[in-house]
Amino acid sequence: MKICVIGLGYIGLPTSLLLASAGHEVLGVDINRKIIEKLNRNELPFIEPGLEELFQKAKNHFHADSRLQSSDAYIIAVPTPVENGLKIADLAAVKNASHAILQVIQEGQIVILESTVPPGTSELLILPILQENGVKTIYFAHCPERAIPGKTLYEMVHNNRIIGGIDKESAEKVKDLYASFVQGDMFLTDVKTAEFVKLMENTFRDINIALANEFALLAEEANINVWEAIHLANKHPRVHILNPGPGVGGHCIAIDPMFLAEKSSTAKIIPLARQINSSMPIHVIKMIKRMIKGVKNPTITLLGLAYKGNVDDIRESPTFKIKRIAENEGISVKTYDPLIQDNLENAGTLEEATKDSDCLIVVTDHDVFKQIDPKKLSMRHKNLVDTRNILDHDLWKRNGYQVNVLGDGTN
């Protein structure tokens, strides 16, 4: 098939390359010229395990351009953030992509929406745009993506998928298309249920992280180590408590629950969980301030800009909230993340970021941070806050550090 993928980000590009490696002719379209130029120079715009090898394998069947062409199928994988301040989905990119498809769509072609959207968006917003020119037979389905950064390729192939068609024929056609590379099971439903299912999945995660965060705060008050308590509670056959942390980031879990609750006057637990998770950076600030109490003109070092370990995605990362709050309180902040390039907030080397610092804070659980040798740092004060419980705390204490671990009320 000739397939046009609109949006070549963390979801659209791997999807394009999997389709191309399955033998389809894929045109990847993006409004960001830098991405198109990079791909046409044979370079990838972001890091993802296995993507480079797949790119080399698939590139004869893949082209990148800024303009769409009429194709057998169109896959929309553009961003769906929350509109700043309003806590309402910003669907501008989805609308623009639909208008771009409208210019080239013909009878009998397939449109697939992979972007995450509030329930009803496909029928109320996208389909009316696609039908503006009077094309009658369009096959349409919403196929929300479930892949996790860091394991995107494996999960795109092996995860089970939900395909919500506007009718059975649409769902069947889209299932056939995905079957060219998906090995997981594919479940067919209607379009609105598919939209709802995706949001339920991420809301489930958000609420469970909020519960873990609440346990962490309670454990600190009760002088208990939450990490040990969670480990033990998870020995129960039907309990699986997630890890607490400095806040929830990324383009999905921190946003999608709001899509579910945005038009509801009855949702209670969803906004509450959001509130708990978005207040975690404030708790981290309190932990830091306890460590640097009495220090004049303090400087702190935040380890990690990415919102989670071993990825280079900084969207909604709690690091930025911690940084801004600290700066607003007169604390100088340096950040270090070896996985992030081209970000002005990044201090360069670990040595530069930690020199004369008064407190080191692990915000992101990158594996590389576990290898840091405390002896090699020239901190002004030896203070460590570990919000992910990933360092060898005895080692740091042996090297003279005061250590404070999020959720550990025994320190």
Ligand X SMILES: NC(=O)c1ccc[n+]([C@@H]2O[C@H](COP(=O)([O-])OP(=O)(O)OC[C@H]3O[C@@H](n4cnc5c(N)ncnc54)[C@H](O)[C@@H]3O)[C@@H](O)[C@H]2O)c1
Question: Which positions are catalytic?
Answer: 198, 252
**By CB under 6 A, residue 364 contacts ligand X:** no
Selected range binding ligand X among 36-44, 53-61, 145-153, 300-308, rule: CB under 6 A: 145-153
CB of 393 to ligand X, least distance (A): 31
Q: Report whether 384 contacts 396 (CB < 8 A).
A: yes
Q: Does 121 bind ligand X (CB under 6 A)?
A: no
Nearest to 180 by CA among 284, 75, 281, 108: 75
CB 3 within 8 A of CB 24: yes
Stretch touching ligand X by CB under 6 A, among 9-17, 370-378, 382-390, 402-410: 9-17
Q: At how many degrees (to 10) do helices 269-291 and 191-221 cross?
A: 40
Q: Is 122 in the site for ligand X (CB under 6 A)?
A: no
Q: Cα–Cα distance between 119 and 142 in angstroms, integer?
A: 11
Helices (H), 292-379: 318-328, 350-354
Is 174:165 a contact under the CB 8 Å cutoff?
A: yes
Minimum CB separation of residue 145 from ligand X in Å reads 4
The one-letter code for the residue type at 213 is: N
Site for ligand X in 146-185 (CB under 6 A): 147, 149
Q: Are 117 and 89 in contact (CB under 8 A)?
A: yes
Question: Which CB, 140 or 396, lies closer to ligand X?
Answer: 140
Task: List the one residue from 17, 20, 35, 73 that touches ligand X (CB under 6 A).
Answer: 35
Alpha-carbon Rg of the chain, whole angstroms? 23
User: Considering the complex, what minimum distance in angstroms separates the CB of residue 13 from ligand X?
Assistant: 8
Using CB under 6 A, which residues numbered 243 to 262 contact ligand X?
251-252
Residue 223: beta bridge partners? none
406 contributes a contact to ligand X by CB under 6 A: no
Specify the stretch interacting with ligand X by CB under 6 A; choose among 92-100, 170-178, 232-240, 267-275: 92-100
CB of 239 to ligand X, least distance (A): 27
Which helix (H) or strand (E) segment holds residue 301: the answer is strand 299-303
31 lies in the binding site for ligand X (CB under 6 A):
yes
Q: How far is the CB of 410 from ligand X (least distance, A)?
A: 35
202 Rama sector, left if φ>0, alpha if ψ -120 to 50, beta otherwise: alpha
Residue whose structure tokens are 């199928």 = 73
Question: Binding-site residue total for ligand X (CB under 6 A)?
Answer: 27
Per rule CB under 6 A, is residue 93 in the interface with ligand X?
A: yes
CA dist 112 to 137, 142, 165, 183, 306, Å?
14, 6, 9, 19, 30
305, 250 Cβ separation under 8 angstroms: no
**Residue with the CB atom nearest ligand X in the bound state:** 9
From candidates 3, 4, 5, 6, binder to ligand X by CB under 6 A:
6
Q: Which of 78, 112, 177, 254 binds ligand X (CB under 6 A)?
A: 78
**Which residues contact ligand X (rule: CB under 6 A)?**
6-12, 29-32, 35, 77-80, 93, 96-97, 114-116, 145, 147, 149, 251-252
